[in-house]
Every structure is written in C-alpha cells, then in structure tokens.
Amino acid sequence: MQGAVELRSALQALYCSTDSEERHAADLWLRGFSAQDGAWQLLAELLADPAGAQHVSARFFAATSLRHCCQRQPGVVQPAALASLAPLLVQQLAAAAAAGCWHTRNQLAAALATVAVRAPAWPEAEVLPQLMALAQGALQGSGSGGGEWQQLALLRLLSALAEAACSKDVGMHPQRRAALTAALAAASQPLDTVKQALAPGSTPAVQVAALQLLQAWCALGQPPAGAEDSTALWQQLHAAALHPEMGGPAAEALAALYAACQAGYSGAASDSPQLARRRHQLLGVLLSLLPGWAAELQQALAQAQQPHQQARLLFAALTVLGAAARAADSQAGTLPAPAAAAAAEAVHLAAEVALASLQHPQLEVTLAALQLWDEQLERWKGSGAAASGAAHSGAAAGACTLQQRSALLAQLCGALLQRMALPADLPAAVCTADARDLPDGVQKLQVRREVGDTFRAAADCLGPRQTRQQLLQLAGEAAVAGAPLQQECCLYAANLIWGRQRSPEAHEAAEEVRQAAAAVAAALRPATPKLAGTALTLLGGMAEQLPALVQREAVVKGPNGRQQGSGLLARLLEVLLQLVQLPSDEKLSRNAATCCYRLTGSRQLAAALAAQHPGWGEALCGCFAAAGGMHQRPQEGEDLSTAQFLLVTICRLSAAAAGEAGGAPHSQQCAALLRQLLGQMAAAADAALDAAAAAPPGGAQHQRQLEQAALQVESIAVAIEAVANSCSSAAQGDRGGAAGLQYLPVLLTSIERVLRRVAAAGCAAQQVPDPGRGQPRQPQQHLLHHLAAAVAPTPAAGTGLDLLHPLVAAPQHPCVLQTLAQLASSRLGGGSSSSGSGPSQQLQAAARSSLQAAAVEHGSDPDWQPAILALGESCVRWLPAVAADGATLDALLCTAQHSMRSFHREACERAVQFAEALCCVGCPPRHSRADGASAAPSPPHATQPPAAAAAAAAAAHQHLRRCLDAGLGSQLVLGLLLAASGTMPAYMMAPVAEVLHRTWQAVGTDRFDAWLREAALQLAGGGEAPWRRWKAEAQAAALRELLAEPCLHDARRFKRLLKVFCGGKKKGRVGDPPARGGG
C-alpha cells in the first residue's frame, strides 16, 4: 500500500507540480520504479482505480510502463496473474478506445498482446482465438457494436499481436516463438478482417489501420493465409497507392506484401516446398498487376499539377516498385517462364521510375530514387560474380539478363551525369574553384556526394575502365563545343572512379593516363575557375599513374645539358606554375598548390619530376619567394596554408633529387637550395625574436613577433617532416632514400642556433600568461614537438632531443611526452644510437623526469593520460631501465589505474596497450594483432645496441618480470577484467579480450593461469566483479573453461567466454566507440 501512495504522489508531482526540481526527482523515481520486479501489480491497480489515474498523462504512463513490464517480467504470465491481468487490460483497452485516447489504447493493446504471446497457459494455436474472443466480448459490451472505435481497437490489437510475436524485446522461448509465428501466419482471420475494413463505406482511419495490420502480419515471415487467392484485394491496394490520402499506407502495405514473397524472408536457411510454392504464386499474382498499374501511374503523374503531388506519387511508386524488384531478384532462377518475364519487367519498371525521379526538383524524391538504385546495384554486384562465369551474354543476373542490366546501367550513368551538372544560370561569382562558394540551395539540390556514390557503384557494375573512357571522350567533346559546365561534370565524374580497376596492360594504362591528362590540360583555364578547380582535383588523384606518362613521353636534351621533358606533362607543369602565381584568384592558386602537393606525394613521380623536369622545382622556389615565403598561418579548417603546400612540394622534390645515385651535382644543388629556403625562414624567425626582445614584454607587439617566429619554425618543422617522410619511405631498400636522410643533420645544423633560441623562448613562455585567459601560452612547445617528432625516425633524432630538452623537466603540455615516446622508439631508443650511449642516456633521463613530473601532476587528467601511458609503453619496450625505476613504475601504474576507470576513448585504449606491453615484457614479439602489426615493433633504422646497453636492458627486463610474478601481473589482469566488466565503456570489451589472449600466448599458460586465478579469486571484490557473486564452484568451472586448451588457439571462443565471465555487455552502455578525441 505504501508503494501505491508513493506512485500516485510521484505522478502528481510529475504532471501537476510547477517546481522543475520536483518534477525531475519524480521522473527519476518513476523510471526506477518501472524497472522493479512486481511493479506491474501497482500499475495494474492504478489503471483499475478510476480515481487513481484521472490525469490522461498518468494513464498513458501506467499503460506504457505496464507494457514494458509485460515484455520481460515472469510474474505477469503466471496463471493466477493472467486470470486477472488479461481481463483488466482488455477492459481498459475498450475504455481508452471509447474515450478516443488512441495513444493509451495503443499501449494497452501492446501490453495485452505481449501477455498473450508469452502466457504458457495459452497454447500457440489458441493465442489468436482466445485473444479475439476476449477482446470482442469487451468491445461489444462497452457500447453499440460495429462502431468505428471498436474496429480501430480490434485492428490495433491484431497488429500488436503480430508485432509482439516478432519483437526481440519480448522474452519468449525460441521454440514457442517459432510455433506461434507459424500459427498466426496460418490463420485466415486477419486477412478477412483487412478485407472487411477496406470494404466500401469504411472511414479513412479504419482503412489505414487495416493497411497497418496487413503490414504487421506480413512481418511474420510469410504471406498471410489466403493471400494468393485475393487478387481483387491486391488490385484495390494498387489503386489505393495512387490515392492522395491512402497512397503512403497502401504503398507500405504492398511493400510488406512483396517482402513476404522474398525467398528466405522468414529467416530460415531455406523455405519449405509448400511455402516456396505459396511465395511464387503470390509473387506471380502481384507482378501481373504491375504493367497496368504503371500505366495508371503515368496517367496520374501527367494529371498532377503541382510538384508536391508528383512527389507523393513518385514516393509511393518507388516504395512499391523497389519492393517488387527486391522480391523479383530474390526469386531469380526459381520462377516459371511467364513469372520470370514478369519479374524482369518489374525490375525494369522500378529502374525507369527511379531514373525519372532523379530529375524531380524535390530533394527527398531524388534521395529515395538513389536509395532504390543503391539497393539494386548492390544486388547486381552480388550476382555479378555468378553471372560473369556464364557461357553467353543472356545469362541471368538477378531477374534481368546481362544485356538488360547493361542497358539500364548505361541509362543510369547518363542520368546521374546529368544530375551532377551545375545549373547553367549560376552567376560567375559563385562558380569559383572552391565548391563551398556554391549557394546553400544549389548545394542541397545538387546532392553531388550522394549522386556520386551511386555513380561510383554503377560504374563498378558497368566497368570502371569503360566508364572512364566514355567520360573522357565526353569531356573532350564538351571542350570542343565550348560547354564548360558539361566538361566540368565529366571531369568530376571521372575523378570519382579514377582509382577503380586499372588495366593490367601497361600500354593501355599509359594511353588512359594520356587521355586524362589531355582532358585536364584542356580544362586548366583561369577564365573558368570552377572547371579548372575540378580538373586540378582529378590531376592530383593521378599521381600514382602519371609516371607511366613520364616514361611514354620523349626526353630531349636542353641547351644547358640537362634532361628536359617535352610534351603533355611539361605543358601541365607549366600551367600549374602559372596558376600557382595567379594573383587575381587566391582560391584557384591554392588549388594549384594543393595539386602540386598531391602529385609529389608519390615518391616515384617526385623522383621522375626531379630528374626530368628539374626546372619545375626551381620555378616553384621562385613562386615561394615571390609570395613572401611564410607569412600567414593556415585558415580555420585548413591543414596547411598555400605557402606550406608549396614548401612541402619543394622539399619532396629536393628529397627525391638528393637520393640520386652517386651524389650527382643536381642532387647537391637541390640540397643547397633546401638549406637556403630553411635558412631564410630561420633568419625571419631570428629577426622576429630580436623584435620581440626589443618590444615591451607582454605587449601586443611582443606577442605578434613571437607568433611570427613560431610560424617560421613551424614551417621549418613542416619542411623537415616532408623530407624525412619522403626519404624514410624510400629508404626501405633504396640507397638513394637513405642518402637523402643524411642531409637532415646538415640541414638542422645550419639553423640550430635559431632553433635553440626558440626553445629558450618556449621555456620562458611557460611563465608568460595569456592576457585573455590567465593560462600559459605554449605555441613554442607545440612547434618544437612538431619538429622533434619529424626528425625522430631520422639520423637527426639527437638534435630533436636537444631541442626538446629544456621542456622535459616540467612539461606543460602532453605533446612533450608524445614526442619523447616517438624518440624512444627511434634511433635513440634501446641504446641503438650511432653515437654511443650518450644520447640514449640523455633520453632516459628526459623520459624519467617527464614521466614522474607529469604523472604526479596530471595522472588523473584524461587529457594527459594517453601521452603518459604512450611514453610509458615506449619505455617498457625500448627504455626498460626507465620503466624498471621504482618511482617511475609507481607513477605509470597509478596513471593506468585512473585510465582503466575512464570513459575517454584514448585513455582507455592507451591503458590497455600499456598493460599488454608491461605484461609481455621480455617475451618474444608476436604478430597476432588484427591489423597484422607486431605487438612489439623494432625501432626504425635500429642497429645492434652495445653490449653494456644490452646487458642493462636484460637486467631491467628481468626486474620487471620478477615484479609481474610477485603480484603486479595479477593486478594488471584484474584491471583488465574489471574494465571488461564495466569500468570502461562496453566497446572496449573486444580490445580487452584481445590483449588478454595475446598476453596468454606471449607469457605462457603457467604464468597467465597464476595471474588470472589470483586476480579473479583473491584480489577481486564483489562490488565490481560480477563473477564474485557466483558460487565458488561456478567461478572455478568458468576459469577452467576459460583457460582450457581450445581457448588458447581460438581468440573468438576466449572472447565469448570472457564476456560471460565479466557479466556480458552492459545494457544502457554505448556499444560503438566515439570518434577519437571525444569521451
């Protein structure tokens, strides 16, 4: 009785109180109350008491909560409860229907249907008859029979019965569910009820409810009983699909009916012969109606005066015909000849209507047509492999032959190409090289991305090479005809499929590249910036294929004795230079610089350009200098500025030239040119620092000069990173690439004095607050991190550590620790430095001091935890003496403990990786990760460490192994078990299971068995460890099964058992990981 009083009080507060805090507290209490076992009894009493739920919202709450209780709670289906609850629900259903409270009526119908399908006292075959007898008695006894509200209540109850039988939210034994759905599908009463409700004279509301009932009944997995003999009803539904008011519900009902004709729709591996025969019969009846209905559709479209009227008709048509095409394709090869021809005609009709819909001005219609085509293309793609092995072109590919499919694909590509074309009436001011300059309305109607996705899929089915050839031919014809918008559209489409399915024949691939380059060259005109911008995008995507053009073109000697390319590529490079220097169009100039950046991203092409077009790199240097060098940071949303794109391009070309065999004079000249560029930026930074020193500290002028110095050094970091990446990617077996890396120490030495000045400024900046925020500014720390990270995998890693050294004692930003982690896995780590043990000892001291300071100050901060643990993992792998230090290890373990109770993705992932590295310390590396990477990769460019360093590392490993076997291993395993049990988000379950399994394989069964048993049975408490709530015998049995031999060799089995051991996936927890950077 006390619970009933509290329930009424909470409802009164929720719906009647004016205090927001009181309403919030009542809402929380009601949510918790509804989830309790036995809550259904008080909810039923509330519904039965007229004075207890006078408020409409209170009755709706009671009905909704009772429906949720009925889905899972076992007490509601006990015979004693069923005897009182079922009559109460049907009485309240009749009362709500009579009062016109259709929201409450629907919830009560769902609750009653749920009780009926779950009640063991009601055999499966008797559920429908008993429920109908109970409902009809209550409905007829509550008012004059035959009224509209009685019909609506009965139709809603039947729909709820089918939905409850199919719903996975309803707790039911699989065998009962299968028997129940079969019994309901075999009943003829629902279809008879639909026919009665759709008879002339019925109100629109009743007809809509009847259509919803038909849709719900089809979801049982097979056609309703008697459907194959109801041709007149299906004719009526097709006509209703074109009706202004009934079109949507009728189309959805027909789509459900077609779905019930699909092979395997019930979810079984195969249909029984009887069910397959029924599907074929009904599908044949439905398909025979489509040609006449299509004619009626065309007539209705012609008579529709307004776009919204046409849109309604097209929506209905796409719904019906899309479902018909799915059913026809699913039954391909199983239908008799007449029905097979009708199936092919249905697919053709669906394609024609979807093609016509692509040109409709309403965006939603276009998207619906694209969705139909996406589904159709996916089916064709799936059937293409089987069809491609056929002996002749008439082989089946779904319901259509290959010839029919090819014709439809050609029409689709043409229609999509037309849909992607920009409107001819756009003003010139918005047709810039930046697609974002198009008006919002045009961008919305264009839906180029969605149309492009469908075009890409269509080209895959039709053949990417054939489609590209046609597009390039169309682009050439448009260029001759002076149609820039059509030319731009063709190049845009060619860019979508450029990377798809290249020819295995070298001469064919080279010819295609030549045609594409010619089409691009014809489009690179400053007078048409939109066309030029699209052409530049295509050209940038051709970087991997352009070396074929370089090899194809003739090479002649220039007057200066250098090799100089003459031909199409030379013209393209010349036009690129002109566009880069275009002062009147900054956006097109940026696009050209971006294209240069993308082209030199291909090591092979960069080497070819440096060798055969050396003047191009020198001209780019002139463009860079003429533009004033580095004077502006990237705008918001940009990774690099236009000047930085040019700088990276020049650096890549210089790195490629520096790799020429034998130290050619041109390679030395390129290296000197790069030193000159970096020297100019270093001098600009030096001058800015001088100006900052002369200005009043903290003033605007002082800050501007410091930011200018930071910009110059940031650009130096970008340049060094470009050289390092280009040379490192080539150094894997390329002596030229390794030779290019040797230039880096020289480059850094030439500007080392300025870099050290900036490092000193970075230390000072730790103490200078930002005037607007009161927090220290750290631009220098960021740029030094950038620079040190760039040289980490190169011979100049020692210089990077020297630059970072002033910041490591008291790091003010996680980037310092991230860079130290990169340096630890570089040449400096593990005593592999070429200069002896000095740099390695310096790195160990820097890592130790940074870890201890950051962990003490920021170990509980999720923004710092990933960086701390990343450096900790690198130390375990490459600097074990640091990790073995007692204070450092304690700091790392404390941070890992915080991270294992975090819901921040990066912190969770780093904690799991750190735990694996520490558990597997000293074990041989394994190659069992999902991405194929080694669990313990070797440092790049590493050499064998000196004997003393190797001995120290072995001693540190041995010390860490002793710590692990003395209890640390059990603590780490317990942290991972609790993480899988809920202290981390649910999406971390899989990574945790993978790490535990790899750890088992690495350390061996004996060690892992001891750790796991101690963690699970001795260290774990009952609060957070779900297995501790089991009986001791169950815990022991679960561990035996988890540690059994099959789990050692089957990671999926191990994960499945671990998931059970840790309590399964937590309900209400987010299962999908967020984007990195979020919580």
Q: How far apart are CA 137 and CA 160, in angstroms?
A: 18
Confidence of residue 32 (pLDDT cuts 50, 70, 90): confident
Percent of the chain with pLDDT over 90: 45
Q: Are 155 and 211 in contact (CB under 8 A)?
A: no
pLDDT > 90? residue 915? yes
Could you give the CA distance from residue 47 to residue 54 in angstroms, rounded to a whole number? Answer: 9
- Which pLDDT tens digit goes with each residue over 510-561? 888 999 999 999 999 999 999 999 999 999 999 998 988 887 764 444 444 4
- Cβ partners under 8 Å of residue 894, min gap 6: 855, 859
- Identify the sign of the CA torsion 679, 685, 690, 693: negative
Round to whole Å and give the CA distance between 473 and 397. Answer: 29
Judged by DSSP in three states, 970 sits in helix
The pairs formed by 65-70 with CB atoms below 8 angstroms and a separation of 24 or more are: 65/30, 65/34, 65/39, 66/40, 66/107, 66/108, 66/111, 67/107, 67/108, 67/110, 67/111, 67/114, 68/34, 69/34, 69/39, 69/40, 69/43, 70/40, 70/111, 70/114, 70/115, 70/118
Q: What is the pLDDT of residue 927?
A: 46
Give the burial string for 736-768 (b: 16+ CB within 10 Å, else e). bbbbbbebbbebbeebeebbebbbebbeebbeb
Determine the pLDDT at residue 793. 67
Dihedral sign computed on CA atoms, order 1065, 1066, 1067, 1073: negative
**Element housing 974 (H / E):** helix 969-978
User: What are the Cα distances from residue 1041, in Å, to 923, 996, 1006, 1009, 1046?
Assistant: 25, 15, 15, 12, 9
Choice among 75-84, 174-183, 245-254, 395-404 with the minimum mean pLDDT: 395-404
Mean pLDDT, the chain, integer: 83
| Every domain of the chain and the residues it spans | 36-181, 188-357, 377-462, 839-1079
927-937: average pLDDT: 43
Determine the pLDDT at residue 738: 52
Residues 6+ apart with CB under 8 A from 229: none
State the pLDDT confidence band at 818, using cuts at 50, 70 and 90: confident
User: Cβ(203)–Cβ(151) under 8 Å?
Assistant: no
When pLDDT is cut at 50, 70 and 90, the band that residue 301 belongs to is very high
Quickly list DSSP for 975-1019. Answer: HHHHIIIIIS-GGGHHHHHHHHHHHHHHH-HHHHHHHHHHIIIII
For residue 731, is pLDDT > 50?
no
Q: Where are the alpha helices (DSSP H) in 771-837?
A: 779-791, 797-804, 814-824
Q: What is the pLDDT of residues 587-641, one digit of tens each?
A: 999 999 999 999 999 988 988 888 888 889 888 888 888 877 777 777 777 778 8
CB 570 within 8 A of CB 514: no
Query: Which of the pair, 952 or 492, is modelled with greater confidence?
Result: 492
Least reliable range by pLDDT among 387-391, 650-654, 837-841: 387-391
Highest mean pLDDT among 444-453, 661-670, 1068-1077: 444-453
